[in-house]
Amino acid sequence: MAGTAGTPGTPRVLRAMNDRAALDLLLEHGPLSRTRIGKLTGLSKPTASQLLARLEAAGLVLAGGTSEGRPGPSAQLYAVNPVAAHAAGLDVTPDRIRAAVSDITGRTVGAHELPTPGRHRTRSVTQEVTDALDGAVKAAGLTRDDVHRVVIATPGAFDPTTGRLRYASHLPGWHSPAVLDTLAAALPMPVEYENDVNLVAIAEQRLGAARGHEDFVLLWNQEGLGAALVLGGRLHRGWTGGAGEVGFLPVPGTPLVRKVTRANSGGYQELAGSQAVPRLARELGMTQIPSGPYTEAAAALVRRAAERDTGPGRQLLTTYATRLATGLASLVSVLDPELVVLSGSSLTAGGEVLRGLVQDELEELAASRPRLVLGDVTEQPVLRGALESALATTRDEVFDTSR
């Protein structure tokens, strides 16, 4: 019925739209004066004053400090109230869970890392998740009830039709059909689950190399080889949540891998995954192969090779670039993205040298020629993406003043 609260075009909805626009500007620019907010939103000074008074009364903004260094009297500055809400993110791997809590502005206020060695596991998945979250919450000086929402990142994806984790047989304890219900019962806030590489793409879309891009592919190479697909500005997850599981992609240059879900690997993973880099280095006669986890060894080898122009190191880098471009050619031929973001330690370690080699090879192998860039979010990108995802929904709910 026309005139009902919440109907598009009514004063309440228009006020809410202006409120949200102002809050988004404060998040983007930091503290602003009433005059500056008015100019950026197009609102008159009286309307901007009413808006700020309304947001201050709702506990969403704080008045604090004044602008200095300009002619005339100092102006009162306003900022988003950081404690208006908090959100949390968790990054789950077979070996550890990283947890972090952020205030509504996006500033991390507490973090915790919980080792989860598979051979010595004595806790359930629920206990591990709650322990990790509680560690971050405690570090932030908060309680569980202070967290508005949490997003949990895992390898693979939870099938929306069955609720079972798929494409991640190496993650112990997470394949029980009751795991999601058990976690929901243990945690007082809404919980969302997302593929780890998808969350790296969210981090790059909001904070990094993919800002302003509606269609892009993110190729990730670290513990595993995977991709995230953003089409029309939205993540494409696929029917079972498995879109982007390109490690299973059959590619030339490696034998076909059958029963890939049981092997938890496939052709592209075997050809160009992180574990293939030390193996390739040995085949090329390189003797100084770093010890330790294969992800660290791969990154070290790629970094060292990118710093040299000749010898086996250069051959390692050019062969690795060809292998990476082989799988990417299939992706870009089907999707025709505007941009490809290279992320994960086994890619970013090669810097612009590796990026340029992959770009050149891809232009030879695919008709579509997207621009390749290195990811900008290199500090715990999965966890950062989980926080950004949790914050986006939290802000939509907390900043909605139309209710």
Three-state secondary structure of the chain: CCCCCCCCCCHHHHHHHHHHHHHHHHHHHCCEEHHHHHHHHCCCHHHHHHHHHHHHHCCCEEEEEECCCCCCCCCEEEEECHHHCEEEEEEECCCEEEEEEEECCCCEEEEEEEECCHHHCCCCHHHHHHHHHHHHHHHCCCCHHHEEEEEEEECCEECCCCCCEECCCCCCCCCCCCHHHHHHHHCCCCEEEEEHHHHHHHHHHHHCCCCCCCCEEEEEECCCEEEEEEECCEECCCCCCCCCCHHHCCCCCCCCCCCHHHHCCCHHHHHHCCCHHHHHHHHCCCCCCCCCCHHHHHHHHHHHHHCCCCHHHHHHHHHHHHHHHHHHHHHHHHHCCCEEEEECHHHHCCHHHHHHHHHHHHHHHCCCCCEEEECCCCCCHHHHHHHHHHHHHHHHHHCCCCC
Residue 263: what pLDDT?
75
Quick check: 88 pLDDT over 60? yes
Burial-class residue 262 by CB neighbours within 10 Å (0-12, 13-18, 19+).
exposed
Task: Examine domains 84-199+382-398 and 211-376 and report if their fold is the same.
Answer: yes
Most confident of 73-87, 252-266, 368-382: 368-382
Highest mean pLDDT, choosing among 56-65, 245-254, 387-396: 387-396
Q: What band does 322 get if pLDDT is binned at 50, 70 and 90? A: very high
Average pLDDT value for residue range 156-180: 89
Q: What is the mean pLDDT of residues 38-52?
A: 93
Residue 192 pairs in a beta bridge with 151
What is the per-residue pLDDT for 8?
59
Read off the pLDDT band of 73 (50, 70, 90): low
Retrieve residue 77's tokens.
Answer: 């500055």
pLDDT at 262 over 90: no
Which of the four pLDDT bands, split at 50, 70 and 90, describes residue 1?
very low
Tell me, which fold does domain 211-376 have in CATH?
A: Nucleotidyltransferase; domain 5 (3.30.420)
Closest alpha carbon to 320 in 363, 356, 374: 356
- Average pLDDT of the chain is 92
Give the mean pLDDT of 179-191: 95
CA–CA dist 58, 401 (Å, integer): 9
Q: Which CATH superfamily is domain 84-199+382-398 in?
A: ATPase, nucleotide binding domain (3.30.420.40)
- pLDDT for res 266: 84
Q: Supply 195's token pair.
A: 């593929």
**Once rounded to an integer, what is the mean pLDDT over residues 116-121?**
70
Task: Return the pLDDT at 10.
Answer: 78
- Quick one: pLDDT at residue 70? 54
Closest to 324 (Cα-Cα) out of 280, 291, 289: 280
> Tens digit of pLDDT for each residue in 197-227?
999 999 999 999 999 999 999 999 999 999 9
The reported pLDDT for the residue numbered 59 is 96
Entry pTM: 0.92
- What does the pLDDT average to over 307-332? 92
Domain layout of the chain by residue ranges: 11-80, 84-199+382-398, 211-376
Q: Is the pLDDT of residue 2 over 50?
A: no
Query: Tens digits of per-residue pLDDT, 229-259?
Result: 999 999 999 999 999 999 999 999 888 888 8
Left if phi > 0, otherwise alpha if psi is -120 to 50, otherwise beta: which for 65?
left
pLDDT interval class at 103 (50, 70, 90): very high
Q: How confident is the model at residue 167 (pLDDT cuts 50, 70, 90)?
A: confident
**Residue % of the chain over a pLDDT of 90:** 78
Domain 11-80 in CATH 3.20.20.70:
no
